[in-house]
Amino acid sequence: MCGIVGYVGKREAFPVLIEGLSALEYRGYDSAGVALIDKGSLVVWKNKGKVAQLKAFAEKKVKPGSTIGIAHTRWATHGVPSQANAHPHTDAKNRIALVHNGIIENYAALKDKLKKEGVVFKSETDTEVLAQLVGKYYKGDLVGAVSQALAEVDGTFGIAVIAGDNPDVLVGARRGSPLVVGVGDGEYFLASDASAIVRYTKRVIYLKDSSLVVLNRSDHTIMDLDKKVMTYEIQHVDYTAEALAKGGFPHFMLKEIFEQPDTIRNAMRGRLLVDDGSARLDGLNLVMQQLRQINRIIFVACGTSWHAALVGEHMMEEIAGVSAEVEYASEFRYRNPIIDPHTLVFVISQSGETADTLAALREAANKGATVLGICNAVGSSIARETHGGVYLHAGPEIGVASTKAFTSQLTVLALLTLLLGRMRRISHDEGITIAQALQEIPEQVKKILKQNAAIKDIAKRYWKHNNFIYLGRSYNFPVALEGALKLKEISYIHAEGYPAAEMKHGPIALIDKDLPSVVIALKDSVYEKVLSNIQEINARGGQVIAIATEGDKNIKKYAAHVIYVPKTIPMLSPLLSVIPLQLLAYHIAAFRKCEIDQPRNLAKSVTVE
Ligand code: F6R
């Protein structure tokens, strides 16, 4: 759950590394550090806190002239956030420095062994064990020492390593954790993802799993972990460093909420066939015959992606007529699921690096399932390990709270429903109705975004409340869950999402004037029922913020506040109803002066189980 940057070239390494770390801070941010080579010796600067603190602390002390270095931003797994536990870690003789993303599972056994050999440890981390191992084997050949050390470790790693007496060589390796090489002119970059290096080069090599890379100023070699040379491809990354900046918004989250008309359009571009009332998804890598034979889908995901999967399940069963179920990735792998040749497993992940989802993917593949992915991050581990899939094309999502990825996931799920549904029970005309409704969504989202100021006003009235309940039914029950998750993760307010009708089975006891209820009450088949739930809340002195369908004046009689969304077909309504909930959570968190893009205890991609 960390970010890695490495550099070897002709520039001063320190500023390059700090810039790279800042771009990667969304991956974790409880401590940060840098190691440089200064006249044949390693110099390490590291601290608890954010990258800006590291920069302020080390900037004046770093001597000019270091053109090679490694750096790290950490999200603690083994040991508390502290200077000692921050990376880079060095070996006993201070000859090598190493940064690591991932988990060394057998670190305790390795540590005991090294201790018996006389090694004194400086930190509580699993990573230091790896640094000490590399140090133990290092006799001038850094690649050899890294490869020898990695042969002894179980677990996952993305690492960057340098040796003080070898100022021309930067070694990287990965197994299970992402690592990308940036190819410059007389210089190389190494990073957990391309956003750390795009300002310097657009030419990147996404390292395959279980590979090792040796970089010097003029050359690079890519091998497997046994040092056998591997093939690779240099790719051009198509987003700029500017795309990563906040674009005039105070937070990435708000920027990403406002990007949704475009990102939803991007997700359907070239895929929605309005005239045929269908969709084409080339990346599935399945022929029509195979798609026709599928009679069950298992969606596997975590967090917000899991909420998208719940909507997908509903679409798939109601519209496409394909039996579907949704699993938490973290539970799926420990449950011995039944998978037959007619079952398709879909893993959904924005980052494509979520460890639980990756493990579930491997479990399903191991049982012989065809596993497809719905991912945002191109070249991510999940994207690479699935048999096929669909990219979201939402661009990098930097705010830790997922927003645009969620609506893109819903869009792709709607396309998938169209595709599979047209092979089964959706008629040509019904297909056209769905396709036309989908085509209208981006403009409808734009209309909702225009209510930003009004939603901010509602947030202003409620930001001091410490508990919220979110209610929805049918397609909008998962949206209630998502609204509650958005609020709790960025504002630290306790919020629960519930199916509206379940309220009477317990949560209704919570209702009083201090517990605002956010209720999704659209004009659909469950409208009257949800209205009854709202009346039950009113009768107990509760305050209701309703998300309602444009033109529904009636609801004003029952709700203290109403946020209107345009009318669409029920299966697409989550694409609209979630937007006010994202904005409400955002503004409440902003009033509470929370660190919206980097909420406490969270990181953007959860690469630990
Ligand atoms: C919530 C959030 C998380 C992620 C979850 C899965 O806003 O961001 O709940 O949705 O960690 O992440 P991905 O989709 O990257 O697998």
pLDDT in tens, 552-567: 999 999 999 999 999 9
Ligand 1 centroid to Cα of residue 318, in Å, is 26
Of 2, 302, 375, 594, which one is the catalytic site residue?
Answer: 2
Q: Give the whole-angstrom CA distance, residue 517 versus residue 298.
A: 32
CA dihedral 334, 336, 340, 345 (to 10 degrees): -10
pLDDT digits (tens, 9 = 90+) for 358-417: 999 999 999 999 999 999 887 788 988 999 999 998 878 889 999 999 999 999 999 999
Percent residues over pLDDT 90 in the chain: 80
* Cα gap 60→165, rounded to integer Å: 24
User: pTM score, two decimals?
Assistant: 0.78
Percent of the chain with pLDDT over 70: 98
pLDDT in tens, 299-339: 999 999 999 999 999 999 999 999 999 999 999 988 888 88
In the numeric block, which tokens belong to residue 292?
């026709």
Task: Name the residue at shortest CA distance from atom 4 of ligand 1.
Answer: 303
Residue 604 bears catalytic tag: yes
- Does ligand 1 lie within 6 Å of residue 349's CB atom? yes
Q: Is CATH 3.60.20.10 the right assignment for the domain spanning 3-243?
A: yes
Eight-state DSSP code of residue 119 = P
73 lines ligand 1 (CB under 6 A): no
The three-class DSSP label of residue 203 is strand
Ligand 1 atom with minimal separation from the 405 CA: 14
| pLDDT score for 426 | 96
Give CA separation, 303 vs 405, 483, 502, in Å: 12, 12, 21
Give the pLDDT score at 176.
Answer: 83
Alpha-carbon gap, residue 422 to 290, rounded angstroms: 14
Instruction: Give 400 Cα–ligand 1 centroid separation in angstroms.
Output: 8
- HEC string of 37-104 equals EECCEEEEEEEECCHHHHHHHHCCCCCCCCCEEEEEEECCCCCCCCCCCCCCEECCCCCEEEEEECCE
* Residues near 351 by beta carbon (within 8 Å), at least 6 away in sequence: 375, 376, 377, 380, 604, 605
Task: Mark out the alpha helices in 373-427 (DSSP H runs).
Answer: 381-385, 404-422
Average pLDDT, the chain: 93
Residue 476 carries which DSSP code? G
pLDDT at 240: 66
**Ligand 1 in reach of 483 Cβ (< 6 A):** no
Token readout for 531 is: 């209205």
Q: Which amino acid is at 409?
A: Q
Rounded average pLDDT over 527-545: 95
C-alpha 350 to ligand 1 mean position (Å): 7
Between residues 15 and 242, the one the model is more confident about: 15
Who's near 282: CB < 8 A, 6+ residues apart? none
398 touches ligand 1 (CB under 6 Å): no
CB distance 605 to ligand 1 below 6 Å: yes
**Residues ≥6 apart with Cβ < 8 Å to 15:** none
What is the reported pLDDT for 241? 60
Q: Following CA atoms 548, 554, 558, 560 in sequence, which dihedral angle do they give, to the nearest 10 degrees?
A: 60
Residue 182, H or E segment: strand 180-183
Per-residue tokens: 222 = 């890519």
The answer on pLDDT for 242 being more than 60 is no
Q: What is the mean pLDDT of residues 426-452?
A: 98
d(CA 549, CA 246): 32
Confirm or reject: Cβ of 607 under 6 Å from ligand 1: no
pLDDT at 1 over 80: no
Residue 463, token pair as written in the block: 């930001």
Classify domain 451-609 at the CATH class level: alpha beta
Backbone angles phi, psi at 577, to 5 degrees: -65, -25
The single-letter code of the amino acid at 207 is L
Q: Please state, in angstroms and rounded to a whole number, the distance separating the CA atoms of residues 571 and 417.
A: 10
Does the pLDDT value for residue 356 go beyond 60? Answer: yes
Asked if the peptide bond before residue 88 counts as cis, ω within 30 degrees of 0, the response is yes
CA distance 356 to 350: 13
Choosing from 354, 402, 486, 582 the residue with most ligand 1 atoms within 8 A of its CB, the one to mutate for a pocket test is 402
Output the pLDDT for position 596. 95
What pLDDT is recorded for position 421? 96
Sign for the CA dihedral angle at 289, 293, 296, 300 comes to negative
Place of tokens 């100021």: 453
Residue type for 580, please? P
The domain ranges of the chain are 3-243, 246-444, 451-609
Q: Residue 472's pLDDT is what?
A: 98
**60-74, 265-279, 376-390: lowest mean pLDDT where?**
376-390
pLDDT at 269: 86
The pLDDT value recorded for residue 102 is: 85
- CB environment 91-109: b (16+ within 10 A), e (fewer): bbeebbbbbbbbbbeebee
103 falls in which pLDDT band (50, 70, 90)?
Answer: confident
Predicted local distance difference test score (pLDDT) of residue 229: 94
Q: Which residue's CA lies nearest to atom 3 of ligand 1?
A: 303
Phi, psi (deg, nearest 5) at residue 420: -70, -35
Q: What ligand 1 atom has the least distance to the C-alpha of 382?
A: 16
Please write the tens of the pLDDT for every residue from 455-497: 999 999 999 999 999 999 999 999 999 999 999 999 999 999 9
Which of 202, 486, 488, 604 does the annotation list as catalytic? 604
Angstrom distance (rounded) from CA 483 to CA 506: 20
Which of 178, 170, 171 has its CA nearest to residue 206? 178
Whether pLDDT at 27 is above 80:
no
Q: Is the CB of 304 under 6 A from ligand 1?
A: yes
Distance CA 570, CA 551 (A): 16
- Which protein residue's CA is at the shortest distance from atom 9 of ligand 1? 303
Q: Is the pLDDT of residue 520 over 90?
A: yes
Would you place residue 442 in the very low, low, confident or very high pLDDT band (cuts 50, 70, 90)? very high
Most confident of 74-83, 101-110, 209-218: 209-218
Residues making up the chain, counted from first to last: 609
| Cβ count near 389 (within 10 Å) | 21
Write down the pLDDT at residue 244: 56
- The confidence score (pLDDT) of residue 290 equals 84
Q: Is any ligand 1 atom within 6 A of the Cβ of residue 302?
A: yes
DSSP helix/strand/coil, 548: strand
One-letter identity of residue 82: S
Pocket test for ligand 1, best of 305, 353, 375, 380 (most atoms within 8 A of CB): 305
Answer whether 303 contacts ligand 1 (Cβ < 6 A). yes
Fold match between domain 246-444 and domain 451-609: yes
Helix 452-462 and helix 573-591, axial crossing angle in degrees, nearest 10: 50
**pLDDT class for 247, splitting at 50, 70, 90?**
low
CA 223 from chain centre, in angstroms, equals 28
Residue 219's pLDDT band, with cuts at 50, 70 and 90, is: very high
Out of 10-19, 129-138, 176-185, 402-411, pick the least confident. 176-185
From 150, 178, 214, select the one nearest 3 (Cα to Cα): 178
Distance separating the N- and C-terminal Cα atoms of the chain: 10
Nearest CA to 527 among 460, 584, 587, 473?
Answer: 473
**Residue 601: pLDDT band with limits 50, 70, 90:** confident
Class of domain 246-444: alpha beta
Question: In the block, which residue shows the tokens 């600067």?
Answer: 45
